[in-house]
């Protein structure tokens, strides 16, 4: 049986804080799937995780056009955005496997685009709009 944690974020700072708190429990080799519509806070969540690892949040940008950004920190963060991919194999051309099985933590936006490439178990963070300023964030393990 899978358990989940849910909470509501009403500000960017709350979303940053949620990412930072989640990062405190992550270790090298972890994969975090970030699911949600455009504008729900996925990149801000990554900025919060980066902040925990000593990476200035202003350095973290959405990798929509480059697909993968690598941020060195106490543990490297690999920020993947699969939004523009048309097929999973395109991610392999960008070296995705090196990041999935590397020495860092892989945070993946739009993971459903590359689901067939992802290992069996990962942490899933789902972002849902409640209204213009509020998002529900749900965190659970997926086996």
CATH number at residue 98: 3.40.50.300
Return per-residue pLDDT of the chain as tens, 143 residues.
458 899 999 999 999 999 999 999 999 999 999 999 988 999 999 999 999 999 998 899 887 777 889 999 889 999 999 998 988 889 888 889 999 988 999 999 999 999 999 988 899 999 999 998 899 999 999 87
Residue 62 lies in a domain: yes
User: Sheet holding 105-109: strands in order across?
Assistant: 4-9, 135-142, 122-129, 31-36, 105-109, 77-81, 68-71
Residue 142 lies in a domain: no
Number of structural domains (the chain) is: 1
Residue 1 lies in a domain: no
Distance in angstroms (rounded) separating the CA atoms of residues 101 and 126: 23
What is the domain extent for residue 88?
14-132
Nearest to 143 by CA among 128, 124, 126: 124
Residue 65 lies in a domain: yes
Distance in angstroms (rounded) separating the CA atoms of residues 84 and 76: 24
Residue 4 lies in a domain: no
Residue 87 lies in a domain: yes
């Amino acid at each position: 049986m899978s358990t989940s944690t849910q909470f509501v974020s009403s500000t960017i700072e709350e979303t940053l804080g949620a990412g930072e708190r989640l990062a405190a429990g992550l270790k090298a080799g972890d994969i975090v799937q970030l699911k949600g519509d455009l504008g729900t806070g996925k990149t801000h969540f990554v900025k919060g995780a980066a902040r925990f690892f000593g990476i200035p949040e202003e350095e973290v940008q959405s990798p929509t056009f480059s697909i993968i950004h690598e941020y060195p920190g106490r543990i490297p963060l690999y920020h993947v955005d699969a939004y523009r991919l048309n097929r999973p194999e395109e991610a392999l051309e960008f070296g995705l496997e090196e990041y999935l099985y590397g020495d860092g933590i892989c945070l993946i936006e739009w993971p459903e685009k590359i689901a067939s490439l992802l290992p069996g178990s990962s942490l899933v963070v789902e972002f849902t709009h409640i209204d213009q300023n509020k998002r529900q964030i749900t965190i659970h393990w997926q086996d």
